[in-house]
Structure 1
Amino acid sequence: MSVEIVTARWIVTGAQDETTPVIHDDAALASRDGIVLAVGPAAEIKAAYPEATVTDYPHHLIMPGLVNSHHHIGLTPLQLGAPDYALELWFAARLSMRKLDPYLDTLYSAFEMISSGITTVQHIQGWATGDLDEVLGAARGVLGAYEAVGMRASYCYAVREQNRFVYEADEDFCARLPAEAGRVMAAHLARQKMSFADFMTLYDELKAGNRNPRARIQLAPANLHWMTDDGLLAIKEKSDAEGVPMHMHLLETAYQKEYARRRTGTTAVKHLEKLGLLGPQLTLGHGVWMTEEDIEICAGTGTCICHNCSSNFRLRSGVLPLMELQRRGMVVGMGIDEAGINDDRDMLQEMRMALTVHRGPGMDHSAVPTPTQVLRMASEHGALTTAFGAEIGRLDPGRRFDAVVLDYSSATWPYQDPDIAPLDALIHRAKTKDVHAVLVDGEVIYRDGQFTRINRESILAQIAEALAKPRDTSEQETHWLRAQVFGEVERFYDGYVPADTPRIPFQQGSSRV
């Protein structure tokens, strides 16, 4: 292919350090076959490639495409009938969620992600029902959706071996229920069971069958309470042999911290360190309830963290001590999980939330995140938590040309004082309406509110038609089941975390006395 050039008022290629973006004024970027060739002053780039086609973005800022480092489903649980609760109760509330074809469901959230500047997603699928062939079909539907819309996807299927509903064996929880509810619950959980060998076959089949260069297949041990030690070791062995990363939920809530203590006699992080799982190939999703020693261990091993700010607020999980991780130079990505604070997948909003939430009391400038740090989390560091690694996340020569074009004039109308750096202004002020274009491999997949490969309105109409139908028999059954089990889940966790468990926060937000 021939060389293509884009020009812009500013091009941000990435972060130089925690406070300084690498930003070029009146700049141009040259690419070929989706690979960045050069970035610099527009006149110099045009002179170096005189035969190139040129696209001008005269009042825009171009920055690296954003990476949603932790994502699960399309329509949100709230849309499908599950209100927000504490995480462990929320799993019970989710029983009544409607079903939707995985292809349509995935496209729904892909539309939201792309329109907020996300070019790559870490899609962690799970909870599909049926045997290997049925789960494989659901996974192919997810991957097919990303290929259809043109988005980059790092895909994994969350392996769950045990404790699929609460933090005890499935059969023990079912025995707590009235006879009929216990029978239905046992049958429901049985539909989510695959053998460990089938989970590994699923990975092998998906990887062998993947022909989409914008998709990569990796591994996901779901969480400590969902995995046996033997299963964790086997996935680590598979990860090493295949050279693919792992993404694992860990320490999302205080209840998960207590589970780890009961099971291992130590912390979840120390247990994973003992098993040899920690390292740059592992990303821990959430990590809210890590101790200071846990953080030191993760930093020392190069283990990555994914910060899911909105999710942690909505599900009452707590607040990640982000600046403790930043001070140790850790790789911290950013995820929106199942929905952002506005019940959507708006990464611009999520970046602002992370920027604001961690502004603790005091006057030490280094104690709070900067817009440049937040951009790095949502781009370069997020990329490092996926199977694409350093191929994406920046706009340096040799990297993939994944970018978002923001309309500075639109975002800052009617006025923005030039004392505020352009990137800082956009991190604070840009909305989805200001996303002018999104490019993956140099291909424009979204421009001026329209998707170039697929008709959004047609897909939304299909979703509306499917969900307008009455609940089918299985949906009626799980809707009934939710009412039967919710109270028992509350009773199970009542007193689960001892009342005298010491808690010393990393960040003091207020004072009772």
Structure 2
Amino acid sequence: MTDHQRTITCAHVIGPDGPMAGAQSIAISDGRIASIASATDTAGEKLLALPALVNAHDHGRAIRTSSIGADAKPLESWIHYLALFPSVDAYLAAAMAFANSALGGAGTVMNHYTRTQGLTDLPTEVAKVARAARDVGVRAGFAVSMKDRNPLVYGSSEPILAALPPELRPEIETRFIRAPLSPQDYMTLVDEVASATDGPNFNVQYGPNGVQWCSDALLQAIAEASARTGRRVHMHLLETKYQRLWADANYPDGVVRMLDEIGLLSPRLTLAHCVWARQDEFELLAERGVTISINTSSNLHLHSGLAPMAEMRKAGCQLAIGIDSKALDDDDDSLRELRLSHLLHAGSGFDLTATRHQALQSAVGNGRFSVSNITDAGVLRAGAGADLLLLDWAAVDNDSLRDDIDPINLLFSRASASHIRELIVAGRSIVKDRRVMGIDYPAVRREILAQMRAGMASNSKLSAALAAIDHVIVAYHCLDGCC
């Protein structure tokens, strides 16, 4: 449902060309912005309106990974700890994850679904995820996870298993070593998921986990299916230095060039991270119209490095921003993520790679396209979809020393999720005064935690096995004495 007709008076509105002059009234009608005009009555609450933000890369986790001890580890070790999450109700888990993104200011959210609950077949499970997205009110992208090699390390699993204590090896084998689907079965699965769930605000995509986890045959099948159907592809690439080393050893002519040769590089592709990609690779990605989702906080937490955004921009890459289920404060604050990414990568001195307004436009416009295939750039103007974020301007500018302060500077200096008054998507108010309007958030959280706690009780052997495999994985990656 939409708030069919409504007028919102704002002290400041950030439009396509930057902050508009003076107070503005935004008229919403049937899910779209009918008009934006100078306000005559400004006696009400002081608000700052900007486009609803986008979480362009995420995994839909209901509970923070640090709560299960998955923290302070590089990705190659950290990723196995996700198995400690027990299976819970798919609708509740998705509702919790989408609600957290919305509370952080994101009206459009990507879910690369790399861990299923597994309590039903996948199309039935994803139908519950789609219903959760509708109830919360976000626009969602959903990438069906695909992988068929290297379940433990970037290479054979047998030496890793052989190095484990014999009593713990079966636990790791049971949890991680499974026969994968064939490439054609994966394509059929995506078709089945799409038939069950695809819709105007739920965009089903192919979701290869990454080159190191997907065979050439699987990647080729995805490229061909995407070209045939027009369906988008969402994939990790070169997130860590170990992935770079593996890629160079296995694709000496270049892993990005290989992806181009099989037809995977196109405007339909979004690549998460690209921290360890090179300038010539960025130039090829830009030429092919690929979107890169930057995930700054996640890369910091997992010691993956900093994505070279300046080099990406220089090459002409399209950049979006994702939370990756691991924001700076282990929350889903898209405002803080936007600020952190810009300040770390904007440049030095007078040599800036992007203005603050350009950074906002890029994050929203490229993010909406990569997640939802929407090409309207997400800007606030008459005729556009009514996707907007309203901040408490009086709280943001609580010093109130100048009437002519540039609102976009304060947005990038201090705004956070705590300043959000309302998030509107397609004219519908989905968050208001820290309350998620479409679900009973406190009840959902209580039930999810109850199910998690009940499921965690049976994980003591897995915890011991993970501690043991940690040591083996460190040794595997540090044969050159790096550790």
TM-score of the superposed pair, with normalisation by structure 1: 0.86
The residue that corresponds to 2:351 in the other structure is 365
Whether the 8 Å contact between 2:238 and 2:274 is mirrored in structure 1 is yes
After the TM superposition, which segments of 4 or more aligned residues of structure 1 sit over 6 Å from their partners? 496-499
Given candidates 88, 91, 101, the residue that maps to 1:100 is 88
Q: Distance in 2 between matches of 1:307 and 1:364?
A: 23
Q: Deviations over 1:298-325 (max 9, x none)?
A: 1222221110000111111111111222
Does residue 117 of the first structure (1) align with residue 105 of the second (2)? yes
The residue that corresponds to 1:487 in the other structure is 471
Q: Distance in 2 between matches of 1:428 and 1:437?
A: 20
Q: Distance in 2 between matches of 1:193 and 1:137?
A: 20
Q: Could you tell me which amino acid in structure 2 is paired with residue 12 of structure 1?
A: I
Decide whether aligned partners of structure 1 residues 152 and 481 sit closer, same or farther in structure 2, where only a CA change above 3 A counts: same
Q: Distance in 1 between matches of 2:6 and 2:158?
A: 60
Instruction: Trace 1:144-293 onto structure 2 (pairs within 5 A).
Output: 144-171=131-158, 173-191=160-178, 193-210=180-197, 213-293=200-280
The residue that corresponds to 2:20 in the other structure is 23
Whether the 8 Å contact between 2:88 and 2:117 is mirrored in structure 1 is no
Decide whether aligned partners of structure 1 residues 387 and 70 sit closer, same or farther in structure 2, where only a CA change above 3 A counts: same
The residue that corresponds to 1:390 in the other structure is 375
Whether the 8 Å contact between 1:247 and 1:282 is mirrored in structure 2 is yes
In structure 2, stretches of 5+ residues that fail to align are: none
How much does 1:165 deviate? Answer: 2.0
How much does 1:429 deviate? Answer: 1.6
Whether the 8 Å contact between 1:35 and 1:401 is mirrored in structure 2 is yes
Does residue 88 of the first structure (1) align with residue 88 of the second (2)? no
Whether the 8 Å contact between 1:380 and 1:390 is mirrored in structure 2 is yes
Instruction: Trace 1:378-417 onto structure 2 (pairs within 5 A).
Output: 378-391=363-376, 393-417=378-402
Taking every aligned residue pair, what percent have the same amino acid on both sides? 27
Q: Which moved more, 1:34-43 or 1:479-488?
A: 34-43
Q: Distance in 1 between matches of 2:389 and 2:189?
A: 33
Q: Distance in 2 between matches of 1:236 and 1:96?
A: 33
The CA RMSD measured in Å over matched residues stands at: 2.7
How much does 1:496 deviate? Answer: 6.3
Does residue 476 of the first structure (1) align with residue 428 of the second (2)? no
Given candidates 59, 66, 85, the residue that maps to 1:78 is 66
In structure 1, stretches of 5+ residues that fail to align are: 47-54, 500-513
Q: Distance in 1 between matches of 2:67 and 2:261?
A: 41
Q: Deviations over 1:201-249 (max 9, x none)?
A: 3321221122653211111221010111111111111112221211110
Q: Could you tell me which amino acid in structure 1 is paired with residue 473 of structure 2?
A: V
Whether the 8 Å contact between 2:139 and 2:202 is mirrored in structure 1 is yes
How much does 1:65 deviate? Answer: 0.7
Q: Distance in 2 between matches of 1:56 and 1:336?
A: 36
The residue that corresponds to 2:411 in the other structure is 426
Q: Distance in 1 between matches of 2:199 and 2:261?
A: 37
Q: Distance in 1 between matches of 2:218 and 2:5?
A: 48
The residue that corresponds to 1:35 in the other structure is 32
TM-score of the superposed pair, with normalisation by structure 2: 0.91
Q: Which moved more, 1:480-489 or 1:219-228?
A: 480-489
